[in-house]
Chain A
Amino acid sequence: MSTAEKVLVYDRIKGVKQIPLEEFYTSGHRTCQGCESATVMRQFIKAAGPRTVVAGSTGCMYVANTSYMTTPWIVPWMHTQLGAGGSSAVGMAAGLRALMRKNRIPQEKINVISFCGDLGGGDMGLSGISGALQTDYDLLIIMYDNESAANTDIQATGLTTWGAQTTFSPVGRVRRIMHRRWKKNVAAMLAVGHPNCRYVATACATFPPLDFLNKVRKALSVGGPTFIHTYDPCPKGWDFHPRYSHELGELGVRSGLLPLYEIIDGQVVYTYDARKTAKGRIPVREYLSRQGRFAHLTEEDIAYIQRMVDEMWDEWEVPGVAPFRGNLKVPA
């Protein structure tokens, strides 16, 4: 039994046969074949159930997802602005709490979930999510991260993997690599800065199986504001065949580039730890070489990414989570 299960009382889904059959995100959306962000949508609301209100920030999961008169949402859903992932959740939670306290709607637990993409949540909306995680409202913010502005034309964001080709970072005759930002560590950053937030996690919708569903259940059970960052392979943006979406997620996790963890009341739980597997971490090359967006990388580039990932697991005080490396010894 993991630490998470010891400290957290929640309705755990123990096997695939226990996954609820009811769908609350159903036909009507227009997402691409192999869309893992759509899998995130389907699973989070399956885990949360029907007594839920949802806000969705602008992004591919708005534009491709929710067309007028063909909405896929069985639960109440409302569009919110690109940078309003945090504030929309606070508004709904505050409104529901006030109305329940003033006896204008029945008292009950209503899940408040807001989702946003990596551009909306990890870049533009970071301040609003920080604000939300300082409140005492019960709410969950899910940042679905497909490493680009996937609706807008696959532009680089602060969460795009170093070196990737996007429409904002094309390969040119003079400059091979235009995107030279290292992937932003949003979940850990939020956990470190918000002691009021009892639950932060990273997840991949399809690997390991059930992991994401149970993380949603935990986030909604622990109380207060919570945050989950999901890694969503995107066939269109990452340039691979849609049939391999789930494999790409698994390779990213097993290579250690996409660390899976939970931070519960300040304690770290590795929900998949490649170091403890028989093979250990697989080389990042196995993940990178499957994607057209990295086709231009040289051996040196891949070695650089591998070195950064090795440091992340071997040198960080909290491996894969917090890039601290001990106290700097300053001469007296």
Chain B
Amino acid sequence: MAVAQPVGVYEREDLLTGCQAVAEGIRLANVDVIAAYPIRPYTEVMDAISKIIADGKLDAEYIVADSEHSQFEIVKHAASVGARAFAGSSGTGWMYGFEALVVTATDRLPVLFLVGNRALDDPGAFGVEHNDALAIRDMGWLLCWVATAQEALEHVLLGYRIAEDKRVMMPMALAMDGAFLTHSQHIVRIPSQEAVNRFLPPFDLAERRLHPDNPVSIAPQVNEDWVMEIRRQNWEAARRARGVITAAYEEFNQVFGPRYKPPYYFEEFQTEDAEVVLVGMGTVAMPARTAVRRLREQGHRVGYVNLRWFRPFPTLELRDCLRRFRAVGVIDRDFAHGAPDDGGVLLHEVRSCLYPLRERPAVVNFITGLGGRDVSIQDAIRMYEITQEAARKDRLDGFVTWVGVRE
């Protein structure tokens, strides 16, 4: 993005993978406690962080845990005494620690996790699928996907800022596609510490911190007497998060220059006069945008919407965006076997979001790129063609196509 930047905001440029960019974000966020456990592909972030700590560039406790469950519990309890904490995982490792992920959210502890998306076993596959991160979608987490290493670094800062806001206090999962982003190198502009300090205040757990001077009991047994009220507080926090997210991006733009455009939750590409769009998350944006350019050369009015925030889901903003089009093709890099219309997870979120409209675009669904299979430009063009056909024929909602599968 060729825009003027305020002087002194960025200190240097470097060639970094997505994971390395997150590690730079962790350094700049002055994180206090980091717990590691290896699993591909997220694990490179811990390789990078351990080197940063070994080189004296970050003062943090760095613990190599015995399992993901312990890893996640360590950072949860580090946060409970008031420390800013970081962990992460991928695929089955993420699922191994799932119990700890749930309580981190219900304890309202704003840690940040990197999810390097990976297919769930069995059979083994290192490549990207979104089912790992999506598993926490109902648990009270903030969940967003980034598509470039620059966004990854910046969303570490945005993530802590939003998660630690007193109106939110929810853990933040920063998801990125395994291999395609975790391990692909990009030129990244690294902000200066001084600019980061202006944007990201120190973490303050205030009256909830566990310390002898503040003798509180956290998470006692409540049963039916209080669980519903506590769930309600979680629900309200997730609702309030929407306003906090918008404000955080606005302030980010003020400090670092105009990096992000409203409504921030998603990015639109050549949608102004589009008749049909695809909606996807993560690095599928690359082939989709290239397909848009090629199809536009042939006169097709197509665009692409890259959804960044999945939780909280940008209901009103996405509804306002997608209502302009005749047909919407939803790309799922996940599976939801036996779900309504046999579609993927994102299909149901998008369709549900559009349902209140009297005039709805036709919505079709693509299951693609599972287990790290490449989604080619040709695949994206095919998805556009099917979506255009849906617009012409007014085909039934929920039509599902597997793209790139041997049948």
- Contact residues of A with B, CB < 8 Å? 50-53, 55, 62-63, 66-69, 71, 73-81, 83-84, 86-92, 94-99, 101-102, 104-105, 110, 127-128, 130-131, 135
Those of B217-236 within 8 Å (CB) of chain A: 217-222, 225-226
Which chain A residues border B225 with CB–CB below 8 Å?
68
A residues in contact with B212, CB < 8 Å: 50-53, 75-76, 110
- Determine if A95 and B226 form an interchain contact, defined as CB atoms under 8 angstroms apart: no
User: Which residues of chain A come closer than 8 Å to B100, judged between CB atoms?
Assistant: 81, 84
Q: Which of B59, B80, B85 meets A78, CB within 8 Å?
A: B80
| Chain A: minimal CB distance from B138 (Å) | 19
CB distance from A3 to the nearest CB of B (A): 31
With contact pairs A66-B221, A98-B83, A99-B81 given, residues A78 and B70 touching in the complex (Cβ less than 8 Å): no
The reply to whether A67 and B220 form a contact with Cβ atoms under 8 Å apart is yes
Chain A hits for B85, CB < 8 A: 91, 95
A36 to B70 Cα, complex, angstroms: 29
A194 to chain B, nearest CB (A): 12
- Select B32's contact among A63, A74, A99, beta carbons within 8 Å: A99
Q: Is B76 within 8 A of A91, CB to CB?
A: yes
Q: How far is the CA of A50 from the CA of B211 in the complex (A)?
A: 10
Q: Say yes or no: A84 contacts B70, CB within 8 Å.
A: yes
- With A78-B77, A99-B82 as contacts: A91 and B217 at CB distance below 8 Å: no
Contact B74–A71 (Cβ < 8 Å): no
Please tell me if the beta carbons of A84 and B218 are within 8 angstroms of each other in the complex: no
A63 to chain B, nearest CB (A): 5
Bound CA span A105–B211, Å: 10
Q: Are B79 and A71 in contact (CB under 8 A)?
A: no
Closest 7 A/B residue pairs (Cβ):
A91-B77, A131-B66, A95-B83, A95-B78, A87-B73, A87-B70, A71-B217
Please measure, in the bound complex, the distance between the C-alpha atom of A68 and the C-alpha atom of B73, giving whole angstroms: 22
In the complex formed, the residue of B with least CB distance to A90 is: B74
Partner of B81, one of A53, A66, A75: A53
Interface of B is mostly: mixed
Interface size for B (C-beta < 8 A) is 43
A-B contact count (CB 8 A): 154
Q: Assess the A66–B217 pair: CB atoms within 8 A.
A: yes
Task: Report yes or no: A76 in contact with B211, Cβ–Cβ below 8 A.
Answer: yes
**Are the CB atoms of A92 and B221 closer together than 8 Å?**
no
B73 in complex: contacting residue of A67, A81, A130, CB < 8 Å: A81
Contacts from B to A (Cβ < 8 Å): 32-33, 35, 59-61, 63, 65-67, 69-71, 73-83, 85, 99-100, 103, 202, 210-212, 214-222, 225-226
CB atoms of A105 and B82 under 8 A apart: yes
B382, chain A: closest CB distance, angstroms? 46
Q: Across the interface, do A81 and B99 meet the contact criterion of CB distance under 8 Å?
A: yes
Q: A130 vs B219: C-alpha distance in the bound complex, in angstroms?
A: 25
Give chain B residues whose Cβ lies under 8 Å from the Cβ of A51: 212
For residue B79, give the distance in angstroms from its CB to the closest CB of chain A: 7
CA–CA, A282 and B322, complex, Å: 80
Given contacts A52-B212, A95-B85, contact A66 B220 (CB under 8 A): yes
Given contacts A76-B214, A127-B70, is CB(A87)–CB(B81) below 8 Å? no
Cα A192 to Cα B160 with chains together (Å):
41
Residues of B within 8 A of A80 (CB): 73, 77
List of B residues within 8 angstroms of A87 by Cβ: 65, 69-71, 73-74, 77
Report B107 CB to chain A, min CB distance, Å. Answer: 8
Residues of B within 8 Å of A76, CB to CB, are 210-212, 214-218
Cα-based distance from A55 to B76 in the complex (angstroms): 12
What are 26 A-B pairs at a CB distance below 8 A?
Answer: A62-B221, A67-B220, A67-B221, A68-B221, A73-B215, A75-B212, A75-B215, A76-B216, A78-B219, A80-B73, A81-B100, A84-B73, A86-B70, A87-B73, A88-B77, A90-B70, A91-B77, A92-B210, A94-B78, A95-B32, A95-B33, A99-B82, A127-B67, A127-B70, A131-B66, A131-B70
